Amino acid sequence: MLAIVAPGQGSQVPGMLGSWISDPELHELVSAWSMRIDLDLLRLGTTADADEIKDTANAQPLIVATSLLGAHALGLKGFAYVSGHSVGELAAAALSGAINHEDALRLVRARGLEMAKAAAQSPAGMAAVLGGDRDLVLSTLNELNLVPANDNGGGQIVAAGDLDALATLAQNPPQGSRVRALAVAGAFHTHFMSPAVEPLRALASTISTHPTSVTVISNKDGEAVTDGAQVLDRIVNQIANPVRWDLCMQTLKNLGVTGVIELPPAGTLVGLLKRGAPEIEVFALKNAEDLTEAREFAGRHI
């Protein structure tokens, strides 16, 4: 049984659209998306530097567009489940049929802008705590008034909050752990993002939803969701609430998934799955040169 997963913010790398848009059809598709959301995805995905694509307002639509482009090029039918990490849930929603691709891109464009505004109000950040005892890590975050914004499983918890507190965490990590700062410009999935929720809820209320053709595994609690309206409502609420990727991985295991393909810009979720669900075979679709191998991988699991 095959699942498709879409990565979240922090997975972006300069030039990540390069291999995809050499195909004229895919180039035209990105051009159309760029016009629709008034953002030059082609330039951001080819010549923009790391600092520019770290900007939340740019990173989020670029990541979702890249995932959707990779899925379009892959052209798979018959996969059973789809999930996305954080902003990747919008790519997952589109792939499930809960919303259409254009609406997903409109939403992610607004999401990026609103979250960037929220981040500017209170400078904050995020850092991954790798390894260590889970209870000790959570206790340390609580002492520093940091939020476990992403519980990613596989020995990784992402802390979010005040920059000084994150610096203290990095200088004195919990025993047996190490801390790595993330390339994001805010404390996502925490109360710092509350100002972004209502504007997104208002926009989401104008979007048509549909029963999914592929079951979505939700970041909220790892629940398998097939109601399109519920998929969208959960995505909006998750803006200011923690991501439970650990529970998503557990659900994939419980449902008997044997293979997972991570859409571009791939790598992060495959790494988490290798540690948190090693019994599931994984494939990272990083560039267009991987398509043939990805289809062969899918054929072994569909």
DSSP-assigned states of every residue in 60-93: HHHHHHHHHHHHHHH------EEEESTTHHHHHH
Task: Compute CA 144 distance to the chain's CA centroid, rounded to the nearest angstrom.
Answer: 26
Helix (H, G, I), strand (E, B) or coil at 273: helix
Strands 124-131 and 177-181: antiparallel
Beta bridge partners of 78: none
Peptide bond preceding 265: is omega within 30 degrees of 0, i.e. cis?
yes
Active site members: 86, 189
In whole angstroms, give the CA distance from residue 64 to residue 16: 12
In whole angstroms, give the CA distance from residue 112 to residue 286: 23
